[in-house]
Structure 1
Amino acid sequence: MADIEAQNEKESEVVAIFKEANRAVALTFEDVVYKVKLKKAGFCGKIVKTEEKVILKGITGKVLPGEMLALLGPSGSGKTTLLTALGGKLGGLLEGNITYNGKNFSNSMKRNMGFVTQDDVLYPHLTVTETLVFTALLRLESTFTKEEKVMHAESVITQLGLTKCKNNIIGGAFLRGISGGERKRVSIGQEMLINPSLLLLDEPTSGLDSTTAQRIVSTLWELAKGGRTIGMTIHQPSSRLFYMFDKVLLLSEGSPLYFGEGSQVMDYFSNIGYAPAVPMNPADFLLDLANGLSSNSTEIPGTVKQNLVSAYKSKLANKLKSEVQGIDDQPQDGLNDKQVSRWATTWWQQFSVLLRRGVKQRKYDSFSGLKIAQILVVALLSGLLWWQSDVSHVQDQMGLLFFYAGFWGFFPLFQAIFTFPQERSMLEKERSSGMYRLSSYFMSRIVSDLPMELVLPTIFLTITYWMAGLKGTPGNFLHTLFVLLYSVLVSGGLGLAIGALVLNQKSATIMGSVIMLSFLLAGGYYVTHVPSFISWIKYISISQYTYKLLLGSQFKPSDTYSCADGAGGVCLVGDYPPIKQVGLDDQVFGAVALGIMLVGYRLIAYLALMRIGVTKK
């Protein structure tokens, strides 16, 4: 009993510490304008015309600590764009002034802000507890111990009502897990871990039933009343939800139609001549107005929008600007950006946490029953086809070695090629929040994949090697295994580079297939006399170097085989025409060439990833 009380007391102390870290944030935005350049392509993709489109047209407003702002408007009105700009995540042609306690966006503000995207970007194989604990270990300051971070994650789980499902996996499209509402609360919980003073959410009720949506908005309302500043986009809230919002911003085609108290919105539109003909949900009424629909059926939509924009400019715009400037002129207490490091944790802490998280998540994909069955079936089939072929069957053994080079060129390539396209959303989300360095993520990814990349080819070779009757000495087997694993790592690096450069699964697959097929054709088995004008391909071919090293693992120039032309019916392996063409010499050169590719492809992948997930602003 005493231990339980001590534990509860410790948890209360940790929660108190995190609450003390919270600082109130007054969010203001004045004359926010955002433009994008639209390029029109002509014949063969040639750019023939560039147009500039204005997405946000002078948005002004303020949200104070303890208030909850709802951004309303039809699809395409600019709600998400404005929210992204307020979160400091929007680059490009952004104009206007966005301040947090009178200061511009900074490292300290990034560390004090939570941003929840519309899509719940979560790892499907991790449990709720694992998801939040790993996030806590990465995002919370190094001044907190690991135990304190875990306790804080547990307290957030309790606060958001996730206790019943805390040991359930998140799940995904083809993996059953927690419900949609629970997934959304986990996403909110990831941001709540840092006890943000400013919390921004993009469509937190999208796709949820009314009861679940009510529960989530009620939770956010309680957080706001605790002193936080909360803003969210929401498409069509029920009347119960609408009256929970302190402030409402109504947008139509990027133009503001109203900003002010949620309780005053109906009176405002009634005073300018737009009142609902029948009692209705205020949110539905506002969306009708934003779409240009009014109770006066004779008024065309374009005229309605023009009248609302004019009324906003004459009745609200100047008043809002004076209020915003009044807030900015006040001295505000805030964090000194010079005293806040860019990263909450050290490189090694980030690497170790990401390594553990990566192994937990990817072991299910790498060792799925389907992949293991695929490898075993192909291994057994290969072993039976090449059953106990001896040195007299030189051509057959060469075919098996080239099959090794080809199969274990394609398989790891396509394993790795989907890595970064699939994790792009996660990388963008976590990198934009300043969770970790790109280098720590990349190195943890490389290291965590090593055992998963090497286990299956080792099993494959162990089965086929002895069934096919290749040289049975431990030295020859280990030599062949080393070459095969070396090739697997190089092919995996090529897959990572292609995936990072293209970041589109379909395009990356096509590019990878073309490149690997080119390497195979120039690998020295199908064509031995390659024309000089295209022979350069073999110098960049993974298959060619792998095939050459595999031949060296089984044959020596002095080895003999039975033939009809040699003296006594015996010929030297080194004189066998296909082997002579590839050559058994320059083994070191082949190993060095693959080593350069091993490093080079991963370096290309890292440089390509540097453009992902960094805040442009």
Structure 2
Amino acid sequence: MEQEMTDIEAQTKAATQEGSAVFKNANRPVILKFEDVVYKIKIKKEGFLKKNMKAEKKMILKGVSGIVLPGEILAMLGPSGSGKTTLLTALGGRLGGRLNGTITYNGKPFSNPMKRNTGFVTQDDVLYPHLTVTETLVFTALLRLPNSITKEEKIMHAEAVITQLGLTKCKNSIIGGPFLRGVSGGERKRVSIGQEMLINPSLLFLDEPTSGLDSTTAQRIVSTLWELANGGRTVVMTIHQPSSRLFYMFHKVLLLSEGNPVYFGMGPGAMDYFSSIGYVPSVAMNPSDFLLDLANGVSSDDSQDNQTVTKQILISAYKNHLAANLKEELQNRDNHLQDGLENKEFAQWSTTWCQQFSVLFRRGVKERKHESFSGLKIGQVLVVAVLSGLLWWQSDVSHLQDQTGLLFFYSGFWGFFPLFQAIFTFPQERMMLEKERSSGMYKLSSYFMARTIGDLPMELILPTIFVIITYWMAGLKPTAGNFLYTLFALLFSILVSQGMGLALGALVMDQKSATILGSVIMLSFLLAGGYYVQHVPPFISWIKYVSISHYTYKLLMGSQYKPNDTYPCGTNGFCLVGEFPAIKAVGLDGQILSVVALFIMLVIYRLIAYLALTRIGVTK
């Protein structure tokens, strides 16, 4: 994969300058209109008794209107909880539920073609930490750009975005994360913007793109967005507290207070408007600070009663002075930008299932190999393997109890280890899956298959090494057939345990809760596995029929013993292995049935995991 990325860079280096011109102008101009947008949610309030639980409706957005033209930046300001992000999500076509009002794009409702022409940058930069900037954008380009563009052209598009966003110096640096040094916060934000710029969107939404950045970096980000808007794009963003330099770069400003609009109009004209209705800052200050004070109801008197009155005055002033003119503009604005989107046929997916699987597989292997083969994990397995080999050193058939103990340890250790590795899989990738699925990058089935198949080599290498070390040190049957049977039984059970971990993680989506639940289930399986308790009461003996440990232990014993094998017992005597109490309780028969049972579990657990994931992002 690394060699492939090196070849990619070599092939496209000369084409970068030419490709950067591709993104100079918007693909298709879009006029965004939204009128009387109202959004309600239900809040359950629990009374003294549960039967008194009541569901109340809360209005998050209360009749918000506006219009943004190609070449304009609309900045939505307001205190926390004012509804900025909710409105942005609604305008981006990503908000369901009780949403009322009218939102149109060139006079048309949101559609699949418009979705393909829209970029959405979330507040949190959801990126893979071990991929470089180039790899991140190239993989995104291979997934998001249609098959009408060749692979080389897709890579050229990624290089063009890198050049346009000023990421050339860090193009070969990894993204990094909380515990991994990588690119800076501003560069990470530009990479997130670059992922959306790959489709050359006409409509770009950004949720607080300057959050957590210093003023200089924030200036660079907004300057980049200003240049993008200048190319004919329609840019809408939420921003919390911009500097005065940033404020005067916004073409239009929407100020929200508790879901109510209190100003919509040109950015530089905001101060004049509030002066005209009697609100003037007492000292020279940043316009955005002054607007946020007003949205919070803070003017000359900071009392709680006065704040409520101030908010009501501002809402009334908006309805009397701005709402009528805005409504007239919405009605009179001609949707003359006929971009042909409604007449163009779009496939539901930009790439085929096989292409999605291939790209996701390569990306996943490159990202997760650092975690799967970490020194800590390798050291853990090697230490346990050597210690086990020493404890069971050359324990031949004369130490039958010890050998069965080793086989049960196999099933226990390699039941818990892959289970806890798999439990964290989907909770850790939830945000990435939501982001990419909402953008329509790939089918859930291609992601799921690439994720599970991509893990197989990495998840099966360490247990194979473990068996190689312990098998020969412990003195188990030294034949190729017995060794391969043992290895097969263990690796097969690992896949089943991994499937259960994937199912629990996908169902619960909380790492702590899923870990506790997984521990309880696996301990129950171990207790019913047939080693600790040989005389299980009938009313609870059913657990062994769903126990991974029981079937694994049965297969492992079958790999070493036959019913007619003998072992030394008593004084100069021999007994049948099949009559040994610990083995007789589990039995050496039913080997094929054990394989079938584990296979059924393998399928069921993975099916549960897949169905649970359909709740995340798009469910198609």
- TM-score tier, shorter chain, comes to over 0.9
Secondary structure of 1:173 counterpart: coil
- Structure 1 Cα separation of the partners of residues 457 and 358 of structure 2: 16
Contact 1:69 / 1:245 at 8 angstroms: preserved in 2? yes
Tell me, yes or no, if structure 1 residue 374 matches structure 2 residue 380. Answer: yes
1:507 is aligned to: 513
Which of the residues 591, 597, 600 maps onto 1:596? 600
- How many angstroms does 1:340 deviate by? 1.0
Contact 2:503 / 2:606 at 8 angstroms: preserved in 1? yes
Contact 1:40 / 1:50 at 8 angstroms: preserved in 2? yes
Contact 1:39 / 1:47 at 8 angstroms: preserved in 2? no
Which of the residues 249, 254, 276 maps onto 1:249? 254
Gaps of 5+ in 1: none
Tell me, yes or no, if structure 1 residue 579 matches structure 2 residue 583. Answer: yes
- Structure 2 Cα separation of the partners of residues 13 and 108 of structure 1: 27
Return closer, same or farther for 1:152/1:338 CA change in 2, 3 Å cut-off. closer
2:87 is aligned to: 82
- How many angstroms does 1:98 deviate by? 0.8
Which of the residues 45, 50, 55 maps onto 2:55? 50
2:498 is aligned to: 492
- How many angstroms does 1:351 deviate by? 0.5
Tell me, yes or no, if structure 1 residue 363 matches structure 2 residue 369. Answer: yes
Tell me, yes or no, if structure 1 residue 433 matches structure 2 residue 439. Answer: yes
Which of the residues 152, 156, 163 maps onto 2:161? 156
Contact 2:500 / 2:605 at 8 angstroms: preserved in 1? yes
1:410 is aligned to: 416
- How many angstroms does 1:315 deviate by? 1.1
Secondary structure of 2:102 counterpart: strand
- Structure 1 Cα separation of the partners of residues 29 and 335 of structure 2: 17
2:6 is aligned to: none
Contact 1:502 / 1:508 at 8 angstroms: preserved in 2? yes
2:200 is aligned to: 195
Contact 1:432 / 1:615 at 8 angstroms: preserved in 2? no
Tell me, yes or no, if structure 1 residue 392 matches structure 2 residue 398. Answer: yes
- Structure 2 Cα separation of the partners of residues 19 and 528 of structure 1: 75
The alignment covers a number of residue pairs equal to 610
- How many angstroms does 1:263 deviate by? 1.2
Which of the residues 63, 80, 84 maps onto 2:68? 63
Contact 1:89 / 1:615 at 8 angstroms: preserved in 2? no
Return closer, same or farther for 1:41/1:589 CA change in 2, 3 Å cut-off. farther
1:186 is aligned to: 191
- Structure 2 Cα separation of the partners of residues 575 and 178 of structure 1: 65
Return closer, same or farther for 1:50/1:521 CA change in 2, 3 Å cut-off. same
Q: Deviations over 1:263-315 (max 9, x none)?
A: 11111101111111111111000000001011356881000000000011111
1:212 is aligned to: 217
- Structure 2 Cα separation of the partners of residues 262 and 420 of structure 1: 43
1:223 is aligned to: 228
- Structure 1 Cα separation of the partners of residues 480 and 146 of structure 2: 51
- Structure 2 Cα separation of the partners of residues 91 and 47 of structure 1: 28
1:457 is aligned to: 463
Which of the residues 267, 279, 284 maps onto 2:284? 279
- How many angstroms does 1:336 deviate by? 2.2
TM-score, length-normalised on structure 1? Answer: 0.96
Return closer, same or farther for 1:520/1:559 CA change in 2, 3 Å cut-off. same
- Structure 2 Cα separation of the partners of residues 545 and 334 of structure 1: 61
Q: Which range moves more in the overlay, 392-401 or 42-51?
A: 42-51
Q: How does 1:85-100 map to 2 (within 5 A)?
A: 85-100=90-105
Contact 1:115 / 1:191 at 8 angstroms: preserved in 2? yes
- How many angstroms does 1:349 deviate by? 0.6
- Structure 2 Cα separation of the partners of residues 7 and 194 of structure 1: 18
- Structure 2 Cα separation of the partners of residues 604 and 44 of structure 1: 35
Gaps of 5+ in 2: 1-8
Secondary structure of 2:377 counterpart: helix
- Structure 2 Cα separation of the partners of residues 229 and 270 of structure 1: 29
Q: Deviations over 1:229-283 (max 9, x none)?
A: 0011000000000000000000011110000000111111011111111111110
- Structure 2 Cα separation of the partners of residues 247 and 334 of structure 1: 27
Return closer, same or farther for 1:557/1:122 CA change in 2, 3 Å cut-off. same
Secondary structure of 1:300 counterpart: helix
Contact 1:160 / 1:219 at 8 angstroms: preserved in 2? yes
- How many angstroms does 1:594 deviate by? 0.3
2:316 is aligned to: 310
Q: Deviations over 1:167-212 (max 9, x none)?
A: 1110001111111111000000000111010010001000000000
1:562 is aligned to: 568
- Structure 2 Cα separation of the partners of residues 440 and 327 of structure 1: 43
- How many angstroms does 1:322 deviate by? 2.0
- Structure 1 Cα separation of the partners of residues 221 and 467 of structure 2: 53
Return closer, same or farther for 1:610/1:555 CA change in 2, 3 Å cut-off. same
- How many angstroms does 1:334 deviate by? 3.6
- Structure 2 Cα separation of the partners of residues 234 and 11 of structure 1: 32
Contact 1:108 / 1:337 at 8 angstroms: preserved in 2? no
Tell me, yes or no, if structure 1 residue 101 matches structure 2 residue 110. Answer: no
Tell me, yes or no, if structure 1 residue 544 matches structure 2 residue 550. Answer: yes
Tell me, yes or no, if structure 1 residue 110 matches structure 2 residue 99. Answer: no
- Structure 1 Cα separation of the partners of residues 512 and 334 of structure 2: 49
- How many angstroms does 1:327 deviate by? 3.1
- Structure 2 Cα separation of the partners of residues 614 and 84 of structure 1: 15
Q: CA RMSD in A?
A: 1.9
Return closer, same or farther for 1:7/1:56 CA change in 2, 3 Å cut-off. closer
Secondary structure of 2:262 counterpart: strand
2:4 is aligned to: none
2:177 is aligned to: 172
1:477 is aligned to: 483
- How many angstroms does 1:166 deviate by? 0.7
Secondary structure of 1:200 counterpart: strand
Return closer, same or farther for 1:393/1:42 CA change in 2, 3 Å cut-off. farther
Which of the residues 116, 124, 127 maps onto 2:132? 127
